[in-house]
Amino acid sequence: MTRMTTAAATVETLLANGIDTVYGLPGLHNDHLFAAFHDAQDRLRVLHTRHEQTAAYMALGAALATGRPQAFAVVPGPGLLNASSALLTAYGMNAPVLAMVGQIPANDIDRAHGHLHEIPDQLGLMRHFTKAAARIRAPHEAPRIVHDLIRQAISGRPRPVALECAIDVWGRTASVDMMPGPAASDPVPIDEDAVEEAARVLGAARRVLIVLGGGAQGSSEEVRQVAEMLEAPSVGYRRGRGVLPSSHRLSVALPVAHRLWREADAVLAIGTRLFQHQSQWGVDGDLKIVRIDIDPDEPSRFRKPAAAVVGDAAQCLRALLGRLPRHNMKRASREEEIAGHRSWLAGRLAGLEPQMSFLRAMRSALPADGIFVDEVTQVGFASRLAFPVERPRTFLSPGYQDNLGWGYGTALGVKAAMPGRAVLSIAGDGGFLYQAGELATAVQHKLAVVAVVFDNGAFGNVRRIQEEQYGNRLIACDLANPDYVKLAESFGVAAFRARTAHELQSALERAFALDAPALVHVPCGEMPSPWDMILMPRVRG
């Protein structure tokens, strides 16, 4: 046993679990914690931001890019609430983020005295958008609680977790036993009978469609083998993109998958909620659905599948590959059929200008292993359909929360965790100003994210809806914007302006060559809507 403070025990447990970076903002309630960070700074990096939401978004970005747990620290009350949008997003995106949140004096918690940053039932509040939340009450509890929270974050369906600690407990000293080794995820045994049933259903199907979600990200090779064995077109939308490379002959985009859904006799859904497909595209008795998911509650959440295998996607797919050959029928190549669908989609996408030209410019400038961070903007919506993605975890999109303004802070976290990779963050003028002050963070910590701001002087999607659905009764959609080039330069950030796709590609190539924070401002005007290729009608049932 070693005598140490609660804060020091927390830091040592983070380090023992491979967490060597903390994103955060200091403040009175966490002074002892930041003092412990200081004492460990030869082993621990602290990246401080200008707003708590960005600290949490940076942890989220690092977790999404690496697949490993990441941590941030904020004060209670307003600090937590400022960070809560990122925690909620992490929950929706199944990201292992650890929130470390301060608290008022231990004896006064939930007694409504009116302490600085006091909030009723903070612990209960955090449980609404985390997988687990716990309070450290004494130094000896810190290693066990932090270790267990990290274990829960990475076990089964990954999700954020949170701890809170009172201002007077962080600095308390006692004898502490550290946990032996890093936390390990709980094993999930695979039901071999379920694998056999899945193999039987898929092997007998003539027209299989594979749908990939974020849970498939660690199973690219297994997905490729199964897709080729079943001659099955495969679609990954947003978090599932890149699991099967866009260049693979069986990889299809969302609108093509919608066409194939009509005629499919079986669907293999891997690590995906499959909510849009089942609820909007429709299901019927002729469509057999096979689910692979690590969350045992997920496969039957919407509709009972024909077969369900619970476990890690890669392990389940390896088991499936072992059983499929004895059930699998011979199928003709679908390459020509898919090529025809792709040609149809290319014709549809040709009407999305200037988005398509901008996407081609960004893809050309971004290195093959570069990471693209999508945002809630017209170019972002189009990117979910048409931006080529060759590797998992290189296309980051904010999941079903789809929250405006998430992108730049998330991209900073990606760059902090993956310093050797190019990181491109896109945003509209509406979303970028949510975190524009973090240009200072990029400069201070030398985070060479390249941001592209598409500026149409409006919350463009809101304006389009008001024009099309509300008789052009426009309200609260037009924006007064700064000169983005001058704004970036005032922070010491290299800035460029590009009005065409050619100018954008040139600016990005120059920006990436700097290996320093940079911004490209793209005045663009109104753009055509891609939504008829995203929210598509029912074709079954």
Q: Is the pLDDT of residue 518 over 90?
A: yes
Q: What is the DSSP letter of 213?
A: -
Cβ–Cβ < 8 Å for 258, 198: no
* Beta-sheet strands, E only, within 370-441: 371-373, 395-396, 423-428
Q: Does 334 lie in the same domain as 286?
A: yes
pLDDT in tens, 423-456: 999 999 999 999 999 999 999 999 999 999 999 9
User: Reading across the β-sheet that carries 234-236, which strands appear in turn?
Assistant: 251-252, 234-236, 208-212, 266-270, 288-293, 307-310
Report residue 31 as tokens.
């002074």
CATH number of the domain that residue 208 is part of: 3.40.50.1220
Q: Return the half-sphere exposure (C-beta side, CA atoms, 13 A cut-off) of residue 289.
A: 25
Residue 1 has pLDDT above 90, yes or no: no
Backbone phi and psi for residue 371, each to the nearest 5 degrees, phi listed first: -115, 130
For 483, residues 6+ apart whose C-beta sits below 8 A from its C-beta are none
Place of tokens 């064995």: 229
Are 118 and 99 found together in one domain? Answer: yes
Residue 141 and residue 53 share a domain: yes
Same domain, 135 and 244: no
Same domain, 165 and 23: yes
- Which run of H or of E encompasses 99? strand 97-103
**Shared-domain flag, residues 250 and 151:** no
Task: Please identify, among 141, 176, 211, the residue that sits at the C-terminal boundary of a domain.
Answer: 176
For 301-336, write each residue's pLDDT tens digit. Answer: 999 999 999 999 999 999 999 999 999 999 999 999
The answer to whether residues 136 and 227 belong to one domain is no
Q: Which residue has the tokens 């290299």?
A: 494
Residue 484 near residue 455 (C-beta atoms within 8 A): yes
- My answer on whether 203 and 315 are in the same domain is yes
**pLDDT at residue 162 is higher than 90:** yes
Question: 148: which 2 tokens?
Answer: 């267990």
Cβ–Cβ under 8 Å, residues 380 and 233: no
Residue 494 lies in a domain: yes
Nearest to 429 by CA among 404, 454, 411: 454
Residue 538 placed within a domain: no
Q: What percent of the chain has pLDDT over 70?
A: 100
Q: Are 84 and 77 in contact (CB under 8 A)?
A: no
Task: Judge if the upstream peptide bond of residue 78 is cis by omega within 30 degrees of 0.
Answer: no
CATH (domain of 158): 3.40.50.970
Model confidence pLDDT, tens digit, residues 460-502:
999 999 999 999 999 999 999 999 999 999 999 999 999 999 9
**Unique residue bearing structure tokens 């609660």:** 6
- Asked, for residue 29, whether it belongs to a domain, the answer is yes
Do the domain assignments include residue 183?
no
* Residue at a domain's end among 343, 372, 387: 343
Q: For residue 541, is it within any domain? A: no
Find the domain containing 49 and state its range: 2-176
The answer on 121 and 68 residing in a single domain is: yes
Share of the chain above pLDDT 90, in %: 99
pLDDT digits (tens, 9 = 90+) for 136-161: 999 999 999 999 999 999 999 999 99
pLDDT tens digit string along 522-533? 999 899 999 999
Tell whether 182 is covered by a domain.
no
Same structural domain, 339 and 383: no
CA atoms within 13 A on the CB side of 329: 13
Name the strand (E) or helix (H) holding 133.
Answer: strand 132-136
**In a shared domain, residues 382 and 338:** no
Final residue belonging to a domain, choices 343, 375, 392: 343
Q: How big is the chain by its Cα radius of gyration, in Å?
A: 24
The residues near 111 (Cβ < 8 Å, ≥ 6 apart) are: none
Residues 493 and 391 in one domain: yes
The tokens describing 439, both together, are 């240009």
Provide DSSP, 467-523: HHHSTT---S-B-----HHHHHHHTT-EEEE-SSHHHHHHHHHHHHHHTS-EEEEEE
Unique residue bearing structure tokens 């140490």: 4
- For the chain, helix (H) and strand (E) counts, in that order, are 21, 20
Domain count, the chain: 3
CB atoms inside a 10 Å sphere around CB 180: 8
Sequence-ordered list of residues with C-beta below 8 angstroms from that of 330, at least 6 positions apart, any chain = none
Q: Which residue has the tokens 């620290």?
A: 73
Q: Is residue 131 part of a domain?
A: yes
State yes or no: pLDDT of 118 exceeds 90. yes
In a domain, 184, yes or no: no
Q: How far apart are alpha carbons 516 and 509 in whole angstroms?
A: 12
Token output for 369: 């292993």
